[in-house]
Chains A and B, each alone.
Chain A
């Protein structure tokens, strides 16, 4: 079943007198439960595509469908609701709330969703254990390593069981061993929870985990191929 459908997406940026085509007539279908890597050099349009699918940025033209529902024209409020309930984000720089503990960071989104305190505590403890952070629930981000912070960010992204997780260069700040551990974790979550993952990366080692690899250049998809994941 198609989870995401993108039709003819265009997004231009003005840089001085130059118009940069960040997305140049991009069309794409993403199946539910798939594990996809978007690769390409810096400026190829990977992050812009993620932002467009996540409703973080407005498109110049094109259509985005989420589970058959057109979402690119949604207003700020409905789009925020969609992200809150159905889409998880993992960022390159972890972006945890520094004054909250690991567990509180994971619980924060659930609190806004209106999940009860007891349920939040149960779910956050379980997910932190699953990402290998049992015993570190009460540590603040500054007391965690980069890899551990990124695990908290992953836990935060998936704790509400979203349909889709958009990850932008999730391993960029991690050493190779920690990056491999994180990718193993994402793959495992994909398989166990049937969460669709769309990961933007230019790390060849990350790409090996993908079932499908989409290569971008100058705002266009130049290759879209299925592959045997590691």
Chain B
């Protein structure tokens, strides 16, 4: 160990209590930051997964402009062969074709305007959680059958149940009159009353026949196991459709811009709080280091008289600050990592969470995200601000006059 490092280390422990108090403030804030940030990232993962898994998936292939203006005519030709192609290049992803139109749906007593989505019954359960939320009856099975699954709120509004028939009225892709009679095979309860009131699913083959779509559809949904797999899947899909005119690929941030904005807004408010905590810690370090420099004025005066330049003294004080911050970082990260790792397995929940989770079909526990980034982000910033707090006491040493300093008591 070089002499400067030894000197800095021993200087730190001249006032053990003061050093430990400052280090403890850093440890506490690091543990708190790791806990909060990993919990935050964990809840974002949960929000994203649940939102995307409910319906939209992580990636979609659409006709250009369909996302902004979802018209039936903005369609993808030969959609099922294209979905097959994508399955061959992304064997680990789940892929399903869809088509969607707005239609008037009528029971014996009422008529309501809703969105009808044509889905592939064999693939849809793998890209969407909606089929798993069928609480009465069953999900669709035959791709050409005149069947429909509707939401609980829509069923209540239309006063229908499983086994009843509904009449669909709408416009076909070619402008023709689209009409059909479908039998209700299932009623789903997604937890979202909007979705349960306005959405119904029919088999894709039946949809194409009814809405004069021929082999067309409106979207191919790609669901991957992990958000980290999105970029590579996105590139692969983009490469595959490069030669196909009029098609575009959207990722989840484009499909669900509201979700991204909600996360960004939550991040901003959380970081405001984290910022306050970090500034408080930085002031604690500033106070400690300033006191440490002031009480050693005489000693620094002597050292300067021996021919040591202020730059060397300043780097010594910065080294002391860095060592203290390192103690806070290492111990804080170790404790924070242990807590986050435990909660990553056991989960974290607070009173009232079960009720909300059940309502929105979410898990009743949040699992903190234990990644290198979530572990080091907060403590890294605390470390950086602690170093910055050491700059002012260090700079004071450049103004030190040896004779005056040696007179200091």
Contact = CB atoms under 8 A, between A and B. Distances in A.
Do the two chains belong together in a single complex? Answer: yes
B303 A97 contact: yes
Interface string B1-27: 011101100110010000000000000
A80 B299 contact: no
B11 A51 contact: no
Contact of B299 (A56, A83, A84, A97): A97
Contacts of A91: 302, 406
A57 B406 CA distance: 12
Interface string A72-106: 00001100111111010101000101111000100
Most chain A beta-carbon contacts within 10 A, residue among B4, B7, B306: B306
B398 to A, nearest CB: 9
Contact of B307 (A57, A84, A97, A104): A84
A85 B307 contact: yes
A173 interface: no
B29 to A, nearest CB: 28
A187 B299 CA distance: 27
Given A57-B403, A112-B312, A99 B307 contact: no
A227 interface: no
A84 B304 CA distance: 9
Contact of A83 (B2, B305, B312): B305
A126 interface: no
Contacts of B308: 80, 84, 109, 112
Nearest to A51: B403
Given A57-B403, A112-B312, A99 B10 contact: yes
B309 interface: yes
Given A80-B308, A84-B306, A112-B307, A99 B3 contact: no
The majority secondary structure among interface residues of chain B is: helix
B402 interface: yes
Chain A interface size band reads 20 to 34
A82 B305 CA distance: 11
A56 B305 contact: yes
Nearest to B402: A56
A95 B306 CA distance: 11
Interface string A18-37: 00000000000000000000
A104 B6 contact: yes
Contacts of A99: 7, 10-11, 14
A116 B209 CA distance: 88
A95 B7 CA distance: 15
A83 B307 CA distance: 5
Contacts of B304: 80
B7 A80 contact: no
Contacts of A65: none
Most chain B beta-carbon contacts within 10 A, residue among A83, A84, A99, A100: A99
A112 to B, nearest CB: 5
Contact of B306 (A57, A89, A98): A89
A109 B403 CA distance: 19
A230 B7 CA distance: 41
A169 interface: no
B307 A80 contact: yes
Nearest to A153: B302
Contacts of A95: 298-299, 302, 406
B7 A109 contact: no
Contacts of B302: 89, 91, 95
B312 to A, nearest CB: 6
A107 B6 CA distance: 12
A111 interface: yes
A82 B10 contact: no
A179 B357 CA distance: 83
Contacts of A51: 403
Interface string B219-263: 000000000000000000000000000000000000000000000
A170 B48 CA distance: 75
Interface string B303-329: 111111110100000000000000000
Contacts of B10: 99-100
A111 B4 contact: yes
A57 B402 CA distance: 8
Nearest to B9: A99
Nearest to A79: B307
Contact of B3 (A77, A98, A104): A104
Contacts of B309: 76-77, 80
Given A56-B402, A99-B7, A87 B299 contact: no
A112 B312 CA distance: 8
B80 to A, nearest CB: 76
Contacts of A97: 7, 299, 303
B257 to A, nearest CB: 58
B3 A108 contact: yes
Interface in B374-409: 402-403, 406
Contacts of A45: none
B11 A109 contact: no
A-B CB proximity, top 4 nearest: A84-B307, A83-B307, A99-B10, A95-B302
Given A109-B308, A112-B308, 19 more contacts: A54-B305, A56-B402, A56-B403, A83-B306, A84-B306, A89-B302, A89-B306, A91-B302, A95-B299, A95-B406, A97-B7, A97-B299, A99-B7, A100-B3, A107-B3, A108-B7, A111-B2, A111-B3, A111-B4
6 contacts: A51-B403, A82-B307, A91-B302, A108-B7, A108-B306, A109-B307
